[in-house]
Amino acid sequence: MFIHKKELQYHAKPDKSDPLMARKMQEILGGQYGEISVAMQYMFQGWNTRGNGKYKDLILDTGAEEIGHVEMIATMIAQLLDDAPVDAQENAFESDPTIAAVMGGMDLQHAIVTGLGPTAKDSNGVPWSGSYITASGNLLADFRSNINAESQGRLQVARLYHMTNDAGVRDMLGFLLARDTMHQNQWIKAARELEAVEGIIVPSGVSEWEIQDINHILYNFSEGEDSKLFATGEAPDGGKFIYKDVPEVMGEKPVLKPAPPSLHNTVDMDAKK
């Protein structure tokens, strides 16, 4: 059960309208690493958690918070679109080059489709997709995905901070940066706790299925040996690293049988020689 409170978790009011910034903000709303993505990722991870009460509680606590962040950013976008000079769009290039420069970067769907409201899309108008989220049922794998999501999201928020001088926008972005710091920390701590129990390789318990003599080799597939540093000494899982400067060929040249004539594939010219 979810209960909506009318108050936002934090302030979301710009100092002035800015339709171009509204478009930019769409990325942290409906982009791959936006707030819709992390909200849905954490919700589905929580709903997919069987037992493990403390982890489920942490996941759903954070997912519920992220839904609030969706509303904060949506509210900010709506207010950035307040008083946007949409009527000047058609003749802007003729009447006022300054307006043309601003309106040239506006998301036209904000004016045409949503009536100066946010959309569940990224900054280029690509619709949000459920394929952005990860909810595997393996908590260590999921927590690592969460660390990545929060890292990418925080990176994008930091970049947006540099793209505006609006004190109100920066204030909200500063809040989001702080919450992303907390969320990275909590997922890292939870992942480390699971690593101490399960080991660092996901999934655990299947190592006997591996080809054991190649599971700690770094092959040099590029010029130079700069990567050799990462294949020296003991591996994080306790194994011993091996570095090979020449990749091994362990298979054979594939030979495929001809396709049926009904498929009209190209005839094997080599076979006719």
Judgement on whether residues 130 and 258 belong to the same structural domain of the protein: no
**Is the model's pLDDT at 211 over the cut of 80?**
yes
Residue 133 pLDDT class (50, 70, 90 cuts): very high
**Is the model's pLDDT at 88 over the cut of 60?**
no
Judgement on whether residues 253 and 119 belong to the same structural domain of the protein: no
CB count in 10 Å sphere of residue 247? 10
User: What is the arithmetic mean of pLDDT over 226-247?
Assistant: 94
Instruction: Decide: 92 and 103 in contact? Cβ < 8 Å.
Output: yes
Q: Is 216 annotated as a binding residue?
A: no
Domain-ending residue, one of 156, 173, 198: 198
Q: Does a structural domain hold residue 234?
A: yes
**Is the model's pLDDT at 206 over the cut of 60?**
yes
CB count in 10 Å sphere of residue 118? 23
Judgement on whether residues 138 and 214 belong to the same structural domain of the protein: no
Residue 135 pLDDT class (50, 70, 90 cuts): very high
Per-residue pLDDT at 269: 82
In terms of C-beta density within 10 A (0-12 exposed, 13-18 middle, 19 or more buried), how is residue 171 classed? middle
**Is the model's pLDDT at 76 over the cut of 60?**
yes
For the chain, what's the residue count? 273
Judgement on whether residues 254 and 154 belong to the same structural domain of the protein: no
Judgement on whether residues 52 and 126 belong to the same structural domain of the protein: yes
Per-residue pLDDT at 99: 54
Q: Does a structural domain hold residue 13?
A: no
Could you give the count of Cα atoms lying within 13 Å of 271 in the half-sphere of its Cβ?
7
**Angle CA 170–104–119, to nearest 5:** 60
Q: Is 61 annotated as a binding residue?
A: yes
What is the share, in percent, of the chain residues with pLDDT greater than 90?
A: 80
User: What is the arithmetic mean of pLDDT over 29-55?
Assistant: 97
Q: Does a structural domain hold residue 14?
A: no
Instruction: Decide: 190 and 145 in contact? Cβ < 8 Å.
Output: no
Judgement on whether residues 176 and 215 belong to the same structural domain of the protein: no
Q: Is 95 annotated as a binding residue?
A: no
What is the share, in percent, of the chain residues with pLDDT greater than 70?
A: 92
Q: What is the DSSP string of 4-70?
A: --SS-SS----SS--HHHHHHHTHHHHSTTSHHHHHHHHHHHHHT--S-HHHHHHHHHHHHHHHHHH
In terms of C-beta density within 10 A (0-12 exposed, 13-18 middle, 19 or more buried), how is residue 120 classed? middle
Judgement on whether residues 259 and 166 belong to the same structural domain of the protein: no
Q: In which domain, by residue range, is 214 found? A: 210-267
Instruction: Express each pLDDT in 163-200 by its tens digit.
Output: 999 999 999 999 999 999 999 999 999 999 999 999 99
Per-residue pLDDT at 102: 53
Judgement on whether residues 181 and 137 belong to the same structural domain of the protein: yes
Tokens of 96: 């006022």
Per-residue pLDDT at 96: 59
Residue 263 pLDDT class (50, 70, 90 cuts): very high
Tokens of 118: 């946010």
Q: The whole model's pTM is what? A: 0.88
Instruction: Express each pLDDT in 91-123 by its tens digit.
Output: 555 555 555 555 567 887 888 888 889 999 999
The average confidence (pLDDT) of the chain is 92
Q: Does a structural domain hold residue 157?
A: yes
Q: Is 69 annotated as a binding residue?
A: yes
Per-residue pLDDT at 41: 98
**Angle CA 216–192–44, to nearest 5:** 105
Q: Is 222 annotated as a binding residue?
A: yes
Domain-ending residue, one of 140, 168, 198: 198
Q: Is 57 annotated as a binding residue?
A: yes
User: What is the arithmetic mean of pLDDT over 205-233?
Assistant: 93
Q: Is 4 annotated as a binding residue?
A: no
Lowest mean pLDDT among 75-84, 143-152, 160-169: 75-84
Number of domains in the chain: 2
Q: How far apart are the C-alpha atoms of 50 and 146, rounded to whole Å?
A: 18
Q: Is 71 annotated as a binding residue?
A: no
Q: How far apart are the C-alpha atoms of 171 and 58, rounded to whole Å?
A: 26
Residue 80 pLDDT class (50, 70, 90 cuts): very high
Judgement on whether residues 122 and 185 belong to the same structural domain of the protein: yes
